[in-house]
Amino acid sequence: MTPGAVAVEFRATTKRYGRVEAMRALDLHIPEGRFVVLLGPSGSGKSTLVRCLAGVERIDDGELLLGAELVADRRRHLPPERRNLGMVFQDYALWPHLTVSENVAYALRRHRPGRTEVGRRVGEMLERVGLVHHHGRYPHELSGGEQQRVALARALVASPGLLIFDEPLSNLDADLRERLRVEIATLSRDSGATVVYITHDQSEAFALADQIGVLDQGRLVQYAPPEEVYHRPATPFVARFTGLAAELPGRVVGTEADGHRVEVDVEGGRILVGSGEVLKAGDRVTVAVRPAAVRMTAVTGASVLAHAGMTNGSGRAPLTDHDGHPAGLNGTVADVAYRGRGYDHVVACCGQLLTGCFDAVRHERGSLVSVSLDPDGCVAYSSTDAN
Ligand code: ADP
């Protein structure tokens, strides 16, 4: 944390466009120096939130504080240039008639430093984003990635207490996206500023965030570290939006004493999973399965017969094998894709298709596999919630 980093606090903040409540009584506290990613699908209110934070939009209700200062409520509205923040947009938003250096220097105009000081700070910033040799070019003479680096330099040069990123990587190609993501993470964290970064891309959110806030229809539905969002998604919506192999319908047959895990009968077997809420035996549930929870082993030789026997027999795999380990569910590989470090499979299992099932070895299409599910990557919700 640098001395200038600023905490952000939304208190029951609401923003309406006509009858649409784009932000609904939002409570959100971001401690100074924290890197927070707000994640949500299109229309969930991400842009509205950052536009209100930046001061480009007024809020209708509630309060917004930066540090100890009330910057917005129903009456008050501090303009963007007085909020000590830097912003990077999806479409770069550079001044087309200014050179790279002039674009970056523009962010220092309010600080009125001397010419030598401006030259020094702009030069240093361009050095850090690798654009020193392009200082005299105009934006149209740069690639998309270079333009976004200029925007990053412009946002950072005045050492603001708050940095806002509005889908900054969306217009870039995949490999460049990855490189610029690392640069944004490094330079933002080095600056010590508080960061609010919005995206609809869950992998970007997991890679960058200290804390992830998930938005659904203008509401903050979960606000937690990435690991918690992954292992304990607060709602079926959060689980779905942050990447699932499948959702398995089932029925609770037993609960562990602490209530954190439940046993669920699904088509073709019985599985132990985490519980997303208080559940009891007999409840109908939907089990959200993370791709990383799926383990598969090839079924060969005599096991193929047993595998077929289990499928044709009771329709249920036994709970344990003869060593007492949980028995696998029966699966058939529907698709396999090479991913460099291994293979992603689609597996027909429990009457559903499990997608993104990784293994270091290749299982051919049509082959039989035994599937086990790690309870840490599976969460059951009451079916009524999941709809
Ligand atoms: P996101 O950034 O997550 O895609 P937005 O904040 O842009 O979501 O939009 C949230 C909701 O507010 C949507 O229903 C959108 O249609 C509505 N909205 C956003 N901006 C305006 C506007 N200027 N006028 C009317 N409705 C708007």
DSSP string, 232-262: S-SSHHHHHHT--SEEEEEEEEEE-TTSSEE
pLDDT at 332: 96
Ligand 1 centroid to Cα of residue 59, in Å, is: 14
Amino acid letter, residue 13: T
The response to whether residue 20 sits with its C-beta less than 6 Å from ligand 1 reads yes
Residue bearing the bigger pLDDT, 312 or 79:
79
The response to whether residue 43 sits with its C-beta less than 6 Å from ligand 1 reads yes
Tell me the two tokens of residue 266: 């699904």
Residue 32 has a CB neighbour count (10 Å cut-off) of 19
| pTM greater than 0.85 | yes
C-alpha to C-alpha distance for 115 and 106, rounded to whole angstroms: 12
How confident is residue 318, by pLDDT bands cut at 50, 70 and 90? very low
Reported as half-sphere exposure (CB side, CA atoms, 13 A), residue 209 has a value of: 27
> Could you tell me which of 379, 360, 356 has the C-alpha nearest to residue 243?
356
**In this model, does residue 3 exceed pLDDT 70?**
no
Digit-coded pLDDT (tens) for 99-126: 999 999 998 877 777 778 888 999 999 9
**In this model, does residue 321 exceed pLDDT 90?**
no
Digit-coded pLDDT (tens) for 169-189: 998 888 889 999 999 999 999
In this prediction, residues 213-220 reach a mean pLDDT of 96
pLDDT at 326: 52
pLDDT at 313: 38
Digit-coded pLDDT (tens) for 336-373: 999 999 999 999 999 999 999 999 999 999 999 999 99
Ligand 1 centroid to Cα of residue 264, in Å, is: 40
C-alpha to C-alpha distance for 161 and 211, rounded to whole angstroms: 18
Residue 254 has a CB neighbour count (10 Å cut-off) of 13
Q: What is the DSSP letter of 93?
A: -
> Nearest residue CA, atom 12 of ligand 1?
22
The response to whether residue 90 sits with its C-beta less than 6 Å from ligand 1 reads no
Fold assignment, 8-239? Rossmann fold (3.40.50)
> Nearest residue CA, atom 24 of ligand 1?
17
Share of residues in the chain with pLDDT > 70 (%):
91
Digit-coded pLDDT (tens) for 226-253: 999 999 999 999 999 999 999 999 999 9
How confident is residue 386, by pLDDT bands cut at 50, 70 and 90? low
101 Cβ partners below 8 Å, 6+ apart? 122, 126, 135, 136
Tell me the two tokens of residue 319: 């709970």
How confident is residue 385, by pLDDT bands cut at 50, 70 and 90? low
pLDDT at 4: 83
Contact (Cβ atoms closer than 8 angstroms) between residue 106 and residue 121: no
Ligand 1 centroid to Cα of residue 201, in Å, is: 18
How confident is residue 257, by pLDDT bands cut at 50, 70 and 90? confident
In this prediction, residues 319-335 reach a mean pLDDT of 70
The response to whether residue 58 sits with its C-beta less than 6 Å from ligand 1 reads no
> Which string of b and e fits 235-251 if b means at least 16 CB within 10 Å?
bbbbbebbbbbbbbbbe
Phi (first) and psi of residue 199, to 5 degrees? -160, 160
pLDDT at 324: 46
Q: Which atom of ligand 1 is nearest to the CA of 198?
A: 2
- Please provide the average confidence, as pLDDT, over all residues in the chain: 90
With the most atoms of ligand 1 within 8 angstroms of its CB, the residue from 13, 14, 20 to mutate is 20
**In this model, does residue 330 exceed pLDDT 50?**
yes
Contact (Cβ atoms closer than 8 angstroms) between residue 4 and residue 166: no
111 Cβ partners below 8 Å, 6+ apart? 158
Domain edges within the chain: 8-239, 244-386
